[in-house]
Structure 1
Amino acid sequence: MGEVRGDPRDGQQQRSHWSASRRAQAWSALLAGLIRCKRCGRKLTLRYSGMKHHIPRYSCSRAWMDNGGPHCIAFGGLRVDDAIEEALLSVVGPGAIAAATAAAKEAGERRDQVRDALSRDLEAARYAADRAFRQYDAADPANRLVASELEARWNRALAHAAEVEDKIAMHDAATPAPIADPASLGVLASNLKTAWDAPTTDARLKKRIVRTLVHEVVADIDDAASEIVLIVHWVGGVHSEIRLPKRRRGQRNSTSANIIEAVRRLVLIASDDLIAGLLNRNGLETGNGNRWTRERVTSLRSNYRIPVFKPAEDGIEHWLNLSNAAKLLKIAPKTLRLAAEAGEIEAIHPLSDGPWIFARSSLITTAARSIAERARQNPRYPTGSNPNQQSLFSSTT
């Protein structure tokens, strides 16, 4: 029997898919290629952990990779990236705005000083050209050697004057950078944090901003204090130190049990991205006081063995949000929500400002059919609470 060979293009496609995946991962780490080990001076390498391998971790493993030497330092990347983000956003503050305005004003003053210096050079060049002409004009034409030398000096003086005039013309033609209004800069500074925290902001744009302001980050670990020590070398020569607590081996995550339970319920209908947005919308924070991101939700699920949300292959979901459940019963979402609030139908509501979750099995019960039938008989008023009663929950998703 002949040997069965696979299509070589399959391997190429797999390698291409792997490369694209690694490139996408590389953009998620804020300090990739920018952070250096204080102990050995080498750049920290970046690797990823978690079930989907997209939670960054910085480690100084180059000595081990090259020569089999020991590892210097290693720590999680989420907390470090957040600290750099906070430090960077604090740079664009009232003090930085005042400094930017002062720098723009100083640049304008330097421009005026350059213009004055060029004007003085032009005055001196014209005087030298005029003096050379007078010397040439006073020379005896019969002495051709002297007259030729004086004429050459005069031509050189005229060329120098023309060169200075060209410099002045180029200086005047260059459009100076306008001085921004401090109020406008303040609005931009306040909008920067909103744009930075938005889930739609491209990680590549964040890294460009970081590399514009940060020259390098030198990292070390204070074993006695169990802290990560970061020395940030800002562009311009200013340095600042950031100390972050390092989680000790065996230390448990301090995330609230209520948040863990909410995530356990939300994975029934929501992806990690959506869960992070819901937790932030409810003002909930991680155990370390940070905002939620997709990576943190993934890490939380991994630590507590919470399965990831996976759409049903046959398209028949066992758990539905409010909109899809109402569509299945052919009633208005508000009708179903009020019925759930009144306890007439079983539902899960893990967050006060979050989605309602319904099991498909609860939507085919006698109670569900009764709610739908009453709604069809009296469509002007929703089933459940009195229509004039105000609801504490604004979410209908």
Structure 2
Amino acid sequence: MPITDNRSAKITEVHLQKIAYVYLRQSSMGQVRTHTESTERQYALQELARQSGWNSPRIVILDGDLGKSGVSTTDREDFKSLVTNVSLGKAGAVLAIEASRLARSNADWHRLIEICGVTGTLIIDEDGCYDPGDFNDGLLLGLKGTMAQAELHFIRTRLLTNKLNKARKGELRVPLPIGYVYDELNQVVKDPDAQVRSSLELVFSYFQQCGSAYGVVQRFTQEKLGFPKRTFGGTWAGKLLWKRLSVARANAILKNPSYAGVYAFGRHRSIKGILENGEVGARVSSVPEENWLVNLPDHHEGYISFEQYTSNLGQLARNQSVKERVLSGPAREGLALLQGLLICGCCGRRLSPRYQGNGGIYPKYQCTWRKREGFSKSVCMSVPCPPLDRVIEERVLEVLSSEQLELALSAFDIVCQRNDQIDAQWKMRLQRAEYESQLAQRRYEEVDPSNRLVASTLEQRWNDSLIELQDVKDQIDQMQQQSRRITEQQRAEVLELAENLPKLWHNTATAWKDKKRILQLLISDITVQKQEQCSALLQLRWQGGASEEIRVDLSRSKLSRQRHSEALIARVTELTKTMDDAQIAACLNDEGLTTAKGVAFTIKSIQRIRRKHAIAGADDKKAGEISVKELARRVGVSVGVVYGWIDKGVISGRRLNAGSPYLLAISPEIEQELAKRACQANRTKTL
């Protein structure tokens, strides 16, 4: 490249004493691999720098940003380093093939030329040499930066418009989720691999049974099933891998409309913002279905119907417990049968179960949002679980009485179908392992025996495939030993229980989670309104749309329901005349009596009985009685003087036993007399 007079005139000895930075950039790694001519032209700028007068040691190549977009400075470490060195005055010139290589953003471009103008750094491209400190050169550089950004805008607009137009026809090729492939006509079809299709069908089947993505993953783990994944790009592009199913993967599958036969484009959008490090970045967010750019139903064959897809989304939304919702979540363990179904009649929020007592065995339904948010010091509503659970249980069993046998037969069909699906998965896994082993054997046998480097590698792969095949066979044998097949005896037992649904419901083998799942299938929600006189009104809404009201008597606490006999109350009343609480408890225990719970009496149990029935204790103060300390304070003497008066018979007092304190009945007249006696005693001591 020849050096023009204009360029030679602007480059001074001061510039040549500093470093000439040659900056290289291409927008993507694909361009780096395929557009090699552009890369060569940019590397050739170092020769231009030498012709301009810089020695090779003072020429620095910055090629770390190859394959990165120039829209922003994010992840462009070489550009940041360039700006830093220019700011420090270390750069004599910045060489780039054109302005768009340095930046596609006006903000980044103008910031660079402004700093170059301050530090006297030149900018050199194929067209010439520019001094940003010169008005005319600065104006021209500004125009070049504007054109670079405008060029990017025009290119992007054309590409996105054409892309959207093709997507609206459902013809835009996009990476397909597992379970789908493109055929030779560029049509979306189900994966020809039967095991892949069966794995996806199991995901949707298990979700119908479990109601949560976590439950699906648990079932896959329990059955020791893998889940397929196809690699994208690179040497292993299209290779099928079998990995452990994760909750995030299960959620993504359940939320993907492609499995319902929908061609969707624009489900996510990129939103720019300021990152934590102060740079401009983008985050990806989901777009509501009504705002998708393209939504083509029945575009291809789905694994589920669109109605089932919508139902799955609703169930996933109900499963979220991080937000305040009035929707029921998945059935969980615990003694609260109506978990997720109850709605507070005061505020309309969901009631959640709380477990109290020693070991947390006494469940309650509470609305705690006011207390949690700091609006109140008490909960909005609290009702015990047993009375509500009991009345809803009775109502549900009454409704199901006519459908019992049909439900049992349907359950058998579901269990048998599930077992068949699992067996099919293991059979296909065995077939795949046999194929991989046979393929490895053929490759080993076809290799040239003299080429030991290749032969040893293929032999090792063959051995690994044989080990994998044997491992699959062992797992199948283990699964067969733990047969899940339903015997005729088990079938007869279940059908017998189905004829008596209450017996099946209360059977100890029936899990609480299964009971809750049945209730959620039948009941939409229940609004609870507490009434006066320990009752509640339940507004029950069934899934079919019907509703009814049920009034429930709320049970009092377990202690308040316990009653002692009248004879025991009379006996305690009699004993309190001469005994304290400890003596009464010992006396009743000696007589062989017990509390309503059937346990021995204690001081606290006697105190509760007296407090509940308003029975005064023998050691309780009566009207007009005071203690020894109180009398000593009133008349101004010591406690010892009062005890002396008691011993001499000046005053009288009563005590329950030798260890209990005195209780003195002192009238106003006696108190005045004692005060005079105390004054005389003090006067005598003074004299």
- Answer yes or no: same fold by TM over 0.5: no
Which structure features the higher share of strand residues?
A: 2
> TM class, shorter-chain normalised?
0.3 to 0.5
Greater relative contact order structure (CA < 8 Å, 6+ sep)? 1
Bigger Rg over Cα? 2
TM-score by length of 2: 0.24
